[in-house]
């Protein structure tokens, strides 16, 4: 037991180092489009993993993702933007005092963005987590919309509908990948800890969980706050690769995209979430092909824009109807699994070689 | 603010409130019977309006023929969606919600792909464009029509749910599913009936809404759907009088907020959400304090 | 115990790599791409690819659709440059910022376009230009009027005037032609275009009337709202001479209808986003007397190039030319002209040629100012008898 644990941890460390090295190399040798897709993948993966923590593992359906991402994005943007740039962007109402002068590096801004999002997550959770099922999702959705509407209504803080421009793109691929690794690591640790078992217990049966002494509210809140923190980070990174944001960037569609990915990968699997984020990002580019105008049997067809979104809607419906477990169900990637997979292969080949 | 102005606000508020109430009923009927937040309700609403427009614009049908056909298609679509997408998910709460979202997206994007998303004028009888003037107060005919149609529909609905066998069965199911099954009520039949009622209300609501605000595009249903939903929750989702009162108050409130606090107009939707959240937290049964449904996670 | 230690080590490693990468300056996109091009500038590709990034779906779809029509028409009239065929590559950005950025990146890296036309909506154009500026690919926005779009972006151009000019033109028209003394604003506060334009109108209106209190108030609503009766009732009570309402065409039509129902006599004025044929179809007789500043009107420009556009458009699409088609049309012609003058498809050469643009387009002699914004007139249009009629043109 102890030995296999050791091997898998060493393998994990190696894998992490390998991925980090890969990201540094990728930053150098991949083209900007591939890097952008990888970046988007990391951001979506963080969002999906944190969604799964709240929904898949704790059973609380929260639709506040878009709003929380907006908190992170605006915090990071306002903190990292150069004061001159802010003056240019805020051409209607000048920015208020602390915002007009600050300029921070990325790391503290990201952490503050995450913390603020976690705090807002706490504020949302404090009332909302006392509710169940439908009521919970309505309340979280409401809060997400309130955040977006507040952003449009505070021109002196976040420039209203005009949004922000000139957000420095400090975050490179390595940032994204490291954030994703930290996110997965923390989430995984949380799920495997005694807290995690309590969370799963809540998901399966709240009454039973309470009966065995699990503090429902505290555990749900823990999951939501941790998840909000990472959504805030994802939002901050998102603003960094876009370079410009406005409140309409954080419409509920963003949350629905995350839900689609989570369902695709399997809401009870972090691995599934990461894979699904990759598939979603790749698919939205691959499917561009079906929208393009084309020559078909010598007939010129105009392109049909919108087919991509339609395809995703159909996919989500089919998944929820026929494959609710998603790609991975509740399976996770593990070194043990990989090793036994190869061992099986190896053994089979040996057997094939024998006769 | 003089009396004529207040009257003017009232006239508009009552019309908007009646519209929201009409749409809110669709949510509440479904929720009462199936326990599902039908996020696609706004899109059924859009389908009815859009197809009416298409029939008139493309095939030169008279508006009433086009509307009749559109309404029938909407009802059939509602039944189809129930059968294909909602029925298999009836026992899973959040899955059925995700299913409803995906249906909503599917309908919207299908219309975007097939009909493009340009807003088109909504054909409606010319008489609805008339305005009656009483001194300084303007009373558009369409407002009278909205209030009249809503009132007639509300009375009809009350008759259906209190006097007919189907209606009584519907109420029985929403009170206690298992007991009513034991009493010989076929839930599938009743749920189909509920969807027919709900989509019919959506279709008629869409016609009245788009006659007042005469354009339609694939996203027409989103905002009124959301507003009506808030209204339904305020009134106590699952309760029919609740949806009426909730939707009505929300519409009236929207107008009155702008009337008395014009500088807060941009915060209007925030208030709507705050009220929604406050209701869910402190009075989840809504104004009418409906019994909260048992959880079926 | 071992487990804990190992966890600690991993955490340390992750944090260390975090900090290490944080200290590294963000690597600048490799300049390697440009070197070969500089060495042999004569080499032209067989097909010259021009990217079109437009809002084909989402809320901006009508505008994207009109622009795309204009670009296609222009492509038909001038399908070749430098003896090579021009290929248009259309990408849809779903009216979302992140999609717009990804789409632009795709155009650069996958499709290898030499320049990009897009996006009609400023919000998406800003996201696109963040990408294109880093890649050093020139772009022409057809009608994105927010001043921020080209600000600080040496490779970004636009084939239209900017909102400060449009707002000033609107205010000038209101004060000088309509003799308006009191104005009210009615604005969709969730759209950057509406908020920005209303702001410039307010500034200029106050300046021209010389009266700090000449703007009586700002009333707002949100995208998707259709009932404006409450705002309009309040506006009626203020009794302004003019209501400036620079909103999307469908909402504008609903505003006009409800204003007529409430018996508001003030003139309504809007910006170029109202210039969509559906406005009159939806508003019907309520749109009578409605005025807006626009990009183009067939009567405002009677020179040969304008006639070519108008007739070509009528022939190809069987409808009257639309405002945002002309900006797309002009953007394409300006770009083709620049490429032919540059004599190469090298981005820097195209950019330098663009700066020196002096071309007869459908909107007259076209030049860029030092901010890379189009120096073109702004026709004011009135709806009369259900038709767009040209009143006069505010020249820069």
Averaged pLDDT, C136-160: 92
pLDDT of residue C21: 42
Name all chains with 3 or more CB-CB pairs below 8 Å to chain A. Answer: B, C
Cβ–Cβ pairs < 8 A, chains A and B: 103
pLDDT band for position C37 (50/70/90)? very low
Q: What is the pLDDT of residues B17-38, one digit of tens each?
A: 999 999 999 999 999 888 888 9
pLDDT of residue C28: 43
Beta-carbon separation of B113 and A306 below 8 A: yes
Q: What is the pLDDT of residues B90-127, one digit of tens each?
A: 887 788 889 999 999 999 999 998 888 888 999 988 89
pLDDT of residue A295: 58
Is-contact A221 A228, C-beta < 8 A? Answer: no
For the purposes of burial, counting CB atoms within 10 Å of the CB of C25, is it exposed (0-12), middle (13-18) or buried (19 or more)? exposed
pLDDT of residue A19: 92
Averaged pLDDT, C296-306: 90
CA neighbor of C330 nearest in space, from C34, C52, C31, C70 = C70
Q: Alpha helices, DSSP H only, in chain C?
A: 2-23, 34-39, 61-77, 97-109, 122-135, 163-172, 192-209, 229-238, 249-261, 278-283, 304-317, 323-342, 347-355
pLDDT of residue C18: 44
For a pLDDT cut of 90, what percent of chain C falls above it?
71
**Quick one: CA dihedral B23, B29, B32, B36, positive or negative?**
negative
pLDDT of residue B292: 59
**Quick one: CA dihedral A163, C296, C365, C137, positive or negative?**
positive
Beta-carbon separation of A306 and B109 below 8 A: yes
- Closest-CA distance of chain C to residue A33, Å: 5
Is-contact A269 A55, C-beta < 8 A? Answer: no
Interchain CB contact of A317 with B (< 8 Å): yes
- Please determine, for residue C146, whether its predicted confidence score (pLDDT) is greater than 60: yes
Least confident interval from A267-271, C57-61, C248-252, C351-355: C57-61
Residues in chain B: 297
- Please determine, for residue B56, whether its predicted confidence score (pLDDT) is greater than 90: yes
Beta-carbon separation of A20 and C17 below 8 A: yes
Beta-carbon separation of C148 and A32 below 8 A: no
Average model confidence (pLDDT) for chain C? 87
Interchain CB contact of A284 with B (< 8 Å): no
Q: What is the pLDDT of residues B199-229, one digit of tens each?
A: 999 999 999 999 999 999 999 999 999 999 9
- For residue C125, give the chain A residue with the closest CA: A244
Which of B103, B295, B297 has the CB atom closest to A317's CB atom? B103
Phi-psi region of C239 (alpha: psi -120 to 50; beta: other; left: phi over 0): left
Copy the structure tokens of residue C355.
Answer: 């700066």
Residues of chain A short of pLDDT 50, as ranges, are none
How far apart CA A25 and CA C106 sit, in angstroms, is 21
- Please determine, for residue B45, whether its predicted confidence score (pLDDT) is greater than 80: yes
pLDDT of residue C36: 45
Interchain CB contact of C208 with A (< 8 Å): no
- Please determine, for residue C35, whether its predicted confidence score (pLDDT) is greater than 60: no
Look at the pTM and tell me if it is higher than 0.95. Answer: no
Reduced to 3 states, what is the DSSP secondary structure of residue B116?
A: coil
CA neighbor of C299 nearest in space, from C353, C379, C367, C240 = C379
Interchain CB contact of B16 with C (< 8 Å): yes
How far apart CA C371 and CA C363 sit, in angstroms, is 19
Beta-carbon separation of B119 and C226 below 8 A: no
Averaged pLDDT, C365-369: 92
Integer CA distances (angstroms), B285 to A125, B24, B239, B291, in order = 20, 15, 9, 6
- Please determine, for residue B235, whether its predicted confidence score (pLDDT) is greater than 80: yes
How far apart CA A250 and CA A247 sit, in angstroms, is 6
pLDDT band for position C43 (50/70/90)? confident
Beta-carbon separation of C97 and A92 below 8 A: no
Q: What is the pLDDT of residues C73-130, one digit of tens each?
A: 999 999 999 989 999 999 999 899 999 999 999 999 999 999 999 899 999 999 999 9
- Please determine, for residue C1, whether its predicted confidence score (pLDDT) is greater than 60: no
What DSSP string describes C380-396? EEEEETTEEEEEEEE--
pLDDT of residue A221: 95
Query: Which DSSP symbol is given to B292?
Result: P
Is-contact A22 A167, C-beta < 8 A? Answer: no
Q: What is the pLDDT of residues A143-192, one digit of tens each?
A: 999 999 999 998 888 898 999 998 998 888 999 999 999 999 999 999 99
Beta-carbon separation of C261 and B266 below 8 A: no
| Chosen from A262, A317, A318, A326 to mutate, greatest number of chain B CBs within 10 A | A317
- Please determine, for residue C132, whether its predicted confidence score (pLDDT) is greater than 80: yes
Q: Please state the ipTM of this predicted complex.
A: 0.91
- For residue B110, give the chain C residue with the closest CA: C57
Q: What is the pLDDT of residues B163-178, one digit of tens each?
A: 999 888 888 888 777 8
Which of B102, B266, B277 has the CB atom closest to A317's CB atom? B102
pLDDT of residue A353: 65
How far apart CA C60 and CA B112 sit, in angstroms, is 12
Q: What is the pLDDT of residues B236-252, one digit of tens each?
A: 888 889 999 999 999 99
Averaged pLDDT, B79-88: 93
| Chosen from A133, A248, A262 to mutate, greatest number of chain B CBs within 10 A | A133
Query: Which DSSP symbol is given to C178?
Result: S
Cβ–Cβ pairs < 8 A, chains A and C: 162
Q: What is the pLDDT of residues A44-87, one digit of tens each?
A: 999 999 999 999 999 999 999 999 999 999 999 999 999 988 88
Name all chains with 3 or more CB-CB pairs below 8 Å to chain B. Answer: A, C
CA neighbor of C100 nearest in space, from B52, A216, A241 = A241
Q: What is the pLDDT of residues C154-196, one digit of tens each?
A: 999 999 999 999 999 999 999 999 999 999 999 999 999 999 9
pLDDT of residue B225: 93
Is-contact C286 C239, C-beta < 8 A? Answer: no
């Amino acid at each position: 037991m102890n030995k296999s644990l050791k091997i898998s941890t060493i393998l994990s460390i190696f894998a992490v180092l390998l991925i980090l090295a890969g990201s540094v190399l990728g930053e150098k040798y991949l083209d900007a489009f591939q890097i952008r897709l990888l970046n988007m993948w990391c951001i979506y993966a963080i969002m999906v993993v944190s969604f799964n923590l709240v929904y898949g593992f704790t059973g609380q359906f929260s639709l506040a993702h878009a709003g929380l991402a907006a908190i992170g994005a605006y915090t990071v943007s306002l903190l990292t933007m150069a004061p001159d740039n802010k003056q240019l962007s805020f051409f209607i109402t000048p920015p208020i005092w602390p915002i007009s002068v600050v300029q921070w590096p990325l790391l503290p801004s990201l952490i503050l963005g995450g913390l603020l999002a976690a705090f807002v997550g706490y504020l949302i959770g404090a009332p909302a987590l006392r509710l169940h099922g439908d009521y919970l999702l309505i309340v979280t959705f409401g809060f997400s919309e309130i955040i977006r509407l507040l952003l449009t209504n505070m021109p002196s803080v976040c420039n209203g509908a005009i949004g922000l421009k000139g957000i420095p793109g400090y975050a490179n691929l390595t940032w994204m990948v490291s954030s994703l690794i930290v996110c997965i690591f923390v989430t995984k640790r949380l799920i495997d800890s005694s807290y995690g078992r309590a969370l799963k217990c809540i998901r399966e049966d709240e009454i039973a969980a309470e009966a065995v002494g699990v503090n429902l509210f505290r555990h749900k809140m823990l999951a939501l706050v941790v998840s909000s923190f990472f959504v805030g980070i994802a939002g901050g990174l998102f603003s960094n690769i876009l370079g410009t944001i406005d409140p309409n960037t954080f419409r509920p569609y963003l949350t629905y995209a995350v839900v689609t990915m989570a369902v695709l990968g399997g809401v009870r699997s972090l691995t599934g979430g990461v894979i699904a984020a990759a598939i979603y990002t790749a698919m939205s580019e691959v499917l561009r092909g079906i929208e393009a105008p084309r020559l078909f049997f010598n007939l010129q067809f105009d392109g049909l824009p919108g087919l991509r979104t339609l395809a995703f809607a159909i996919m989500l419906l089919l998944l929820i109807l026929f494959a609710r477990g998603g790609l991975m169900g509740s399976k996770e990637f593990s070194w043990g699994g990989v090793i036994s997979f190869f061992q099986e292969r190896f053994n089979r080949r040996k057997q094939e070689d024998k006769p | 603010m003089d009396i004529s102005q207040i009257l003017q606000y009232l006239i508009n508020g009552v019309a908007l409130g009646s519209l929201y109430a009409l749409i809110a009923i669709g949510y509440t009927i479904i929720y009462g019977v199936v326990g599902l937040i039908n996020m696609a309700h706004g899109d059924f609403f859009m389908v009815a309006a859009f197809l009416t427009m298409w029939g008139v614009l493309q095939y030169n049908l008279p508006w009433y023929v086009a509307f009749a056909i559109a309404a029938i298609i909407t009802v059939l679509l509602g039944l189809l969606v129930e059968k294909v997408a909602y029925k298999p998910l009836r026992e899973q709460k959040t899955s059925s919600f995700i299913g409803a979202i995906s249906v909503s997206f599917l309908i919207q994007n299908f219309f975007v792909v097939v009909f493009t998303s340009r807003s088109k004028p909504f054909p409606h009888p010319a008489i609805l464009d008339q305005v009656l003037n009483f001194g300084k107060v303007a009373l558009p005919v369409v407002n009278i029509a909205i209030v009249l149609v809503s009132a007639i529909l509300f009375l009809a609905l009350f008759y259906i749910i209190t006097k007919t066998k189907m209606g009584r069965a519907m109420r029985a199911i929403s009170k206690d599913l298992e007991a009513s099954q034991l009493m010989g009520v076929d839930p599938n039949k009743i749920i189909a009936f509920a969807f027919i009622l709900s989509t019919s209300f959506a279709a008629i609501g869409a016609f009245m809404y788009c006659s007042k605000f005469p354009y339609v595009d694939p996203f027409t249903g989103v905002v009124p759907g959301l507003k009506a939903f808030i209204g339904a929750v305020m009134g106590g989702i699952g309760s029919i009088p609740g949806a009426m009162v909730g939707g009505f108050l929300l519409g009236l409130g929207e107008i009155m907020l702008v009337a008395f606090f014009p500088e807060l107009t941009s915060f209007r939707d925030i208030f709507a959400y705050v009220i929604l959240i406050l209701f869910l937290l402190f009075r989840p049964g809504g104004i009418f304090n409906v019994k909260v449904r048992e959880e079926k996670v | 115990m071992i487990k804990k230690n190992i966890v600690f080590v991993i955490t340390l490693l992750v944090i260390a790599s975090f900090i290490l990468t944080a200290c590294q300056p963000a690597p600048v996109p490799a300049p390697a791409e440009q070197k070969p091009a500089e060495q042999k500038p004569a080499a032209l590709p067989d097909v010259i690819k021009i990217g079109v990034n437009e809002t084909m779906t989402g809320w901006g779809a009508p505008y994207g659709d009109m622009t795309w029509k204009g670009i296609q028409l222009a492509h038909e009239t001038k399908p070749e440059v430098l003896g090579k065929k021009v290929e248009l590559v259309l990408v849809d950005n779903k009216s979302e910022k992140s999609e717009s950025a990804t789409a632009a990146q795709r155009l650069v890296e996958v499709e290898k376009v030499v320049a990009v036309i897009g996006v009609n909506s400023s919000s998406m154009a800003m996201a696109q230009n963040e990408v294109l500026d880093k890649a050093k690919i020139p772009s022409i926005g057809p009608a994105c009027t927010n001043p921020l779009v080209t600000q600080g972006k040496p490779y970004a151009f636009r084939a239209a005037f900017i909102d400060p000019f449009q707002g000033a033109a609107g205010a000038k028209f209101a004060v000088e032609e309509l003799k308006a003394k009191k104005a009210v604003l009615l604005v969709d506060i969730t759209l950057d275009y509406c908020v920005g334009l209303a702001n410039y109108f307010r500034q200029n209106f106050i300046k021209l009337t010389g009266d700090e209190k000449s703007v009586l108030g700002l009333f707002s609503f949100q995208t998707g709202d259709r009932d404006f009766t409450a705002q309009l009732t309040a506006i009626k009570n203020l009794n302004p001479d003019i209501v400036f309402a620079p909103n999307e065409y469908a909402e504008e039509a609903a505003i006009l209808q409800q204003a007529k129902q409430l018996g508001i006599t003030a003139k309504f004025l809007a910006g170029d986003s109202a210039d969509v044929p559906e406005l009159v179809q939806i508003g019907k007789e309520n749109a009578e007397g409605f005025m807006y500043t626009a990009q183009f009107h067939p009567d405002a420009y009677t020179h040969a190039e304008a006639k070519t556009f108008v007739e070509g458009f009528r022939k190809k699409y069987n409808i009257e030319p639309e405002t945002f088609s002309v900006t797309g049309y002009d953007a394409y012609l300006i770009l083709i002209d620049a490429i032919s003058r540059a004599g190469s498809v090298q981005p820097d050469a195209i950019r330098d040629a663009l700066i020196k643009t002096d071309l007869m387009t459908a909107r007259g002699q076209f030049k860029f100012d030092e901010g890379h914004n189009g120096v073109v007139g702004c026709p004011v249009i009135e709806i009369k008898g259900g038709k767009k009629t040209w009143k006069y043109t505010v020249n820069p």
